[in-house]
């Protein structure tokens, strides 16, 4: 979470990092009263072990490829793929290519 949050009304780029992805780390984009947005960077072979959040989440793959496990199902997420999770839905991720993901979290508990 290396960069400051972007104020409401300000524009931030969530384009693919491309050549910069190899050196990038996960970063906060914004945290407001109801929504939190971050870019998660996951290097090939790295995982986020099973976890959940109190509120709903969308995960949008910006670049790369991630194996996404939720609800007993595994999907491969590639650029442009978006998935929604219900509150407290357990999920786990493993990057099969260097990847960045735009994660939008509803901060209200479900």
Which helix (H) or strand (E) segment holds residue 42: the answer is strand 35-42
Span 17-46, contacts to a second copy by CB under 8 A: 29-30, 32-35, 37
Contact between 97 and a second copy (CB under 8 A)? no
Q: Which of 83, 92, 96, 97 binds a second copy (CB under 8 A)?
A: 83
Shortest distance, position 91 Cβ to a second copy, whole Å? 9
User: Are 100 and 40 contacting, i.e. CB atoms less than 8 angstroms apart?
Assistant: yes
Cα–Cα distance between 106 and 95 in angstroms, integer?
24
Contact between 1 and a second copy (CB under 8 A)? no
Cα–Cα distance between 105 and 95 in angstroms, integer?
20
Shortest distance, position 10 Cβ to a second copy, whole Å? 7
Neighbouring-strand partners of residue 99:
42
Q: Which stretch binds a second copy (CB under 8 A): 19-27, 44-52, 86-94?
A: 86-94
Q: Is 17 helix (H, G, I), strand (E, B) or coil?
A: coil
- DSSP, res 5: P
Residues that bind a second copy (CB under 8 A): 6, 8-16, 29-30, 32-35, 37, 55-56, 58, 60, 70-71, 73, 75, 77, 79-87, 89, 102, 104, 106, 108, 110
């Amino acid at each position: 979470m290396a960069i400051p949050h972007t104020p409401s009304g300000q524009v931030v780029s969530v384009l693919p990092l491309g050549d910069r992805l190899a050196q990038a780390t996960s970063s906060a984009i914004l945290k407001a009263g109801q929504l939190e947005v971050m870019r998660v960077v996951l290097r090939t072979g790295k995982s986020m072990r099973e976890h959940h959040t109190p509120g709903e989440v969308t995960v949008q793959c910006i670049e790369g490829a991630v194996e996404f496990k939720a609800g007993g199902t595994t999907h491969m997420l590639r650029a442009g793929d978006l998935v929604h999770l219900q509150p407290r839905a357990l999920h786990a991720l493993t990057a099969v290519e260097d990847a960045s993901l735009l994660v939008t979290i509803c901060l209200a508990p479900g």
